[in-house]
Structure 1
């Protein structure tokens, strides 16, 4: 296995950072949202790998932080969080304005839901951690949808687009590295692989994560959308 195959996760993460960096450069009004969301998801991503490494996948990392994630997880976490947070705003050319009350408690709910979901569904019931993590994103998403109905359309659109974008980038890379899944994907042969290229688990996780991360900053800060 050559360096391209061995460090495929790194190359994919760099594509993500290139995308979010371009948006950061051109959309000055979204920079704070990109930075805060990206940093938060980078930290969470590194911590979640502790569970993913045990039953979901075990990629080669350029730099690894003990039993947790590594450099690639920081890059990927920042990228996927930053892109997911502002994807809707970029596509539909909207800006955010302060009109409502802040709901800072939503962050605690997100963390609590994610931890509880993994402990109950994975540690106790034996469900793979990628599914448990996806379920953990759903609960706070439901709370946001119920209390901020104006964000529901954004959640649905970015959930779908975010999941598709994630597997599209992964799918292109996996075409050029057909042995990668067999080498590092611990569910190889047991979980469905869409079109014989990317695992359906990635699509499920991407949709659930995208639906939550897109409105999270707006909900947290009490912001609403307005046309530019």
Structure 2
């Protein structure tokens, strides 16, 4: 099982590559958000070994807490999470008019962007919660904060969370038929709820939902964009 994490991180990267190759109109958005997301893979020492302890290339996770796979995985889900809703519902990114940017809700724009970081840091420092729960809570409230600032993204935020959960469920579940003991061996279940959904720790699905919820609207929030239906000419 030494290379399972590496192989499955390449699989999600392959999905990213397929979308990137065949959807030219969203390449810029995918790349931007993937590069922004990738450094979050460097937070892996916060989760190893208290959440999980995966075998990794060169035994990096075991020896240092860091691993190459987390960077690949973070890069891939950053781009996919940003555009998944647009792909399913055939939406495009358009620039938000300056008249809308001046709304009083956007006066907190910069502060709201940092809500997940602040909440994660506070929970990590002042509670004994496992970091996975800190991350889930931080992402959830980050999504709600985005919703306050950008109510026009309401549908994308909630549906984006559900879409990414479904994708992640299929992605994670594809490991288990080949390696049915993978979760039992490498997740620190004693620190978690022990709730499994068809073999998948519920914490993974909570992460998927809250990540999809927050990340589906982060590009629009960060770069002052909206999502619109493409204009068709009959």
2: CA distance between counterparts of 1:36 and 1:142? Answer: 23
- Counterparts of 1:125-204 in structure 2, within 5 Å, are 125-187=127-189, 190-195=193-198, 197-204=199-206
Q: How many Å apart are 1:107 and its aligned residue?
A: 7.1
Aligned-pair distance for 1:190? 4.5
The separation in 2 between residues aligned to 1:144 and 1:124, in whole angstroms, is 24
CA displacement, residues 45-94 of structure 1 (integer Å, 9 cap, x when unaligned)? 222x1211131011111153873432111110011111100001111111
**Which residue pairs with 1:57 in the alignment?**
52
Q: Offset of 1:110 from its aligned partner?
A: 4.5
Aligned pairs, how many? Answer: 221
TM-score for the superposition, normalised by structure 1: 0.87
Gaps of 5+ in 1: none
Larger Rg: 2
Indicate the residue corresponding to 1:95 in structure 2: 92
Structure 2: 5+ residue stretches without partners: none
- For 2:114 and 2:48, the matched residues in 1 are separated by 19
Q: Would the aligned equivalents of 1:46 and 1:68 in 2 still touch at CA under 8 Å? A: no
Q: After the TM superposition, which parts of structure 1 deviate over 2 Å for at least 4 consecutive aligned residues?
A: 63-69, 99-103, 105-114, 116-124, 188-191
Taking structure 2 as the reference length, the TM-score comes to 0.85
